[in-house]
Amino acid sequence: MRFEIWQAGWAMIRSHPWFGIGANMLVRDYVSYRIAGDTLVAAYGHNQYIQLAAEIGVFGLLVFLLIVIRTASVGWKLLNDKEAWVRLAAQGAGCGILAFLAIGLLESALQSSRCNAFFWIWLGLLHGLASSRLPRPNFHAG
């Protein structure tokens, strides 16, 4: 079943490569792109990367990947922080993000309201920690 769904997703990407078919439209438009013999009426992508590319196009997928790459860079720097709690928080959030991205190979976790909040919280945590570690200007110096 997953392979049929992925093939329909790839057909959507081929038809609308740059900006996709529209956010949250894979389920609605599935019937129009399914392969012959597939009896599913509606399906989600079972792969968040194919679903993202199908719905928001290659451009949108690239923007998402840039956010992930930037977050990885921020997290990597936090792993070398002088304070142990910062390193541990970065490790925890980073492992959560990695697990979420790995699960996305077989699920459309970003489209699930039950678990996508954790992904964005972990991203925000890493960026917030990094921001808190920046030197602060001293405006009160005499």
Rounded to 5 degrees, what are φ and ψ at 34?
A: -70, 155
Q: Tell me, what's the pLDDT at 8? A: 95
pTM of this structure: 0.87
3-state secondary structure of 25: coil
Dihedral sign, Cα of residue 92, residue 93, residue 98, residue 103: positive
Give mean pLDDT, residues 84-97.
96
Average pLDDT of the chain is 91
Q: Tell me, what's the pLDDT at 50? A: 96
3-state secondary structure of 127: helix
Q: Tell me, what's the pLDDT at 142? A: 55
- CA 17 to mean position of chain CA atoms: 18
3-state secondary structure of 82: coil
Kindly calculate the radius of gyration of the chain based on its CA atoms and give it in whole angstroms.
19
Q: What is the pLDDT of residues 97-120, one digit of tens each?
A: 999 999 999 998 887 777 889 999
Q: Pick the more confident residue, 139 or 20.
A: 20
- CA 137 to mean position of chain CA atoms: 34
Question: Would you tell me how many other CB atoms lie within 10 Å of the CB of residue 93?
Answer: 23
Q: What is the pLDDT of residues 36-82, one digit of tens each?
A: 988 888 778 999 999 999 999 999 999 999 999 999 999 999 999 99
